[in-house]
Every structure is written in C-alpha cells, then in structure tokens.
Structure 1
Amino acid sequence: MEELIKYGRKMVISGLVDSHFGNVSKRIGDRMQISTTGSMLDELEGEIISVPIDPSIPDEMDVIASSEVNLHRKVYEKTSALAILHGHSRYAVALSMIYGKGNLIVPEDSESLYLLHEIPVVGGGVGSDELAEAVADALKDHKAAIAEGHGTFARGSTVDEAFVILSSVEHACCVKYLVDTGKKGPAGF
C-alpha cells in the first residue's frame, strides 16, 4: 500500500498525471490493491482498497474502486503483470490522438526504442469492457499501451518497474513529437 502511495505522488510530481486523473494497482495473490475512483494520486493515504481479481467474486469495495478496476483485472488475468500504473501525460495523449487507435508509436531515441520497442495505441471508452480487452491484449506483448485520447497504461513486475515504463513512454512521446514537428520544417506543421 505504501508503495502505491509513494508512486502515485511521484506520478503527479513528474507530470505523468494531474492529481485527480489516473489510477494505480498492485497484485497480491488473488487480490489487488487499487486506488479509489476520483482519488488524488498525490494524496492516496486512505484511498487504496483491496478487491478480488476475479470479477465473479462479489466484493462491496468494488463500488468505490477506480473506474478502470475491470481493466486492471483483465490485465492481471491475461499477463504476468504484478503492478499497473495509468497516467494521462500530455505528449502520450497528444500522440495517441495524432496516430490513432490501431497504430504503433515507434520511439525515435535509442533508449526508448531499446526499452519499449513500440507502443500500441488502442481504443475504447473509459471504464469500458472494450478498453479493458484492448489494453490487456496489447500488454501481453508490450510493456505499455496508450488508450487514444485517454493515457498510458504501464505494467511491471514491481510498482517501480511500472513507473519506469510510464516515465519512458512520456519521454519517448515527447521526443517523437519534437522530431516529427522538426521534420515538417521551420513552420512546424
């Protein structure tokens, strides 16, 4: 729980999310700790709850869990992830809208290319089953996926690793945006 509180704060301080947007979770056995809906990620004390990963197991805490609780469940079901961080960083959101769902963002800089290889852009409404399936499927073979117009979902075997991936996606998208803009000439676009 303390780890999620720490990294929620780091996400806000790093500009990877504005305070009320995004969510964090960590798998512990057949349950997950997850931020509550509408919680401020830089003030998560008392805002992390535990819910079952299996959606067929009723739990009274589901009603206050993040609106993306089913997406987190689906990712834990379909991947080896033990932590998921979701942020709405500016460049990742912008590039997801420029490239559009179904496309891949290929980093320009060597470090991002080495770490991420490529970043799929997926579609689906916030909190929808469509988005949950799309992100989970993308995260089978990628460390991160960007939901078009919505933000990045990063997975890791630790919360720290998921934070590194989330940070790396924003760095890669910033560099890619600047390079793409520069290629269009002095007028920009």
Structure 2
Amino acid sequence: MQELIKYGKKIVAAGLAHSHFGNVSKRVGDQMLISTTGSMLDELEGQIVRVPIDPASPDELDVIASTELNVHRAIYKATSALAILHGHSVYAVVESLLHEGQIVPEDSESIYFMHEIPVVTGGIGSDELARNTASALRDHKGIIAQGHGTFARGATVDEAFVIISSIEHACMVKYLLDIAKKR
C-alpha cells in the first residue's frame, strides 16, 4: 500500500495527473489494491481498497473503488501485469486527439523503448475502454485512451511509472517538433 501512496505522489509531482484524476493499482494474489474513486493521487492515505480481480459477484467495495476498476480488472486478466498506473498527462491527451490508432514517437529513446503507442477508444470506465485497453496492453506496456489519459502496466509499480512518464515525454517531443516544423 505504501508503494502506491509513494507513486501517487510521484505521478502528481511529475505532472502526469492533477486534482482528482488518475488511479493506481497493484496485484496481490487474486486481488488488487486500488485507489478509490475521487481520491487525489498525492493524498492516498486511507484511500486504497482491496478488491478481487475476478469476483464471482460484485464486491461491496466496488462502489468506492476507482471508476476505472473494470479497466484494471480487464488488464490483470489479460496480461501478466502486477501493477497498473493511469494518468491524465497533457501532451499524451492532446496527441491522442490528433492521431487515431497509434502515435509513433519521434525521438530515439522513445522509438527504441516503445516503438509505437496505441491510442484506444472508449468512455471513462466503460466496457469498451476495458476491452480495448486490455487488448492493446497484451502487446504493449502502455497506451493512451483517446482524449482521456495514459494506462501502463508493469511487473512493478516503478516500471509502470517509467512507462507513463515515457509516454508523456514522447508525446511532448512529438507535439513540440510538429510545431517547430511549421515555422
């Protein structure tokens, strides 16, 4: 739990989410720790609940867990993820509105590390978003939900943080380069 609290603060400090947006989770056996709906990522003390990944019926804590709970569940079921971070970084959101399908990074580190960044569709917390995100994360470590934000999976919370940070960096470079090319 302390690790999620630490990385919630890092996400906000790095500008990868703000206010009450974004969420974090970590797999613990057949359950997950996940931030609650409406919680601020830099103030997660007492705002993390434990819910089953594949419940036989809705869990009583589902109603207070993140509105993206079904997306986290779908990712854990479809991938080997042990941690998931979801941010709302500015350049990633902007680039997702400018490019459909995928974003191809321009800088060498991003190209080497990510190759391409899938852009998926689906409303906040929707089944469509859960399906599309889980499907894309089978073959990629991070994606951008169009007009919404980033999702990253990792073997550790730190790895997922590196991914959402890298997506934002790649999108910032691409956005600024596209502006510079128009000068």
Structure-1 separation of matches of 2:120 and 2:177: 23
Q: CA RMSD in A?
A: 0.8
Q: Which residue of 1 aligns with 2:137?
A: 139
Q: Which residue of 2 aligns with 1:128?
A: 126
Deviation (angstroms), 1:177:
0.6
Amino acid at match of 1:45: E
Deviation (angstroms), 1:58:
3.4
Name the stretch that deviates more: 54-63 or 163-172: 54-63
Which blocks of at least 5 consecutive residues in structure 2 are unaligned? none
Q: Could you give the per-residue CA deviations for residues 79-124 of structure 1, whole angstroms, max 9, x where no partner exists?
A: 0111000000000000000113xx2111111111111111000000
Deviation (angstroms), 1:16:
0.3
Runs (4+) of structure 1 moved beyond 6 Å?
Answer: none
Secondary structure, aligned partner of 2:166:
helix
Structure-1 separation of matches of 2:71 and 2:55: 11
Deviation (angstroms), 1:140:
0.4
Deviation (angstroms), 1:179:
1.2
TM-score by length of 1: 0.95
Establish whether residue 161 from structure 1 lines up as the match of residue 162 from structure 2. no
Q: Which residue of 2 aligns with 1:106?
A: 104
Query: Is the 1:55–1:70 Cα contact (8 Å) retained in structure 2?
Result: no
Structure-2 separation of matches of 1:88 and 1:167: 11
Q: Which residue of 1 aligns with 2:34?
A: 34
Structure-2 separation of matches of 1:59 and 1:137: 24
Structure-1 separation of matches of 2:96 and 2:11: 19
Q: Which residue of 2 aligns with 1:151?
A: 149
Amino acid at match of 1:15: G
Q: Which residue of 1 aligns with 2:79?
A: 79
TM-score by length of 2: 0.98
Name the stretch that deviates more: 106-115 or 32-41: 106-115
Structure-1 separation of matches of 2:112 and 2:84: 21
Fraction of identical pairs, as percent? 71
Establish whether residue 56 from structure 1 lines up as the match of residue 66 from structure 2. no
Query: Is the 1:23–1:87 Cα contact (8 Å) retained in structure 2?
Result: yes
Amino acid at match of 2:36: T
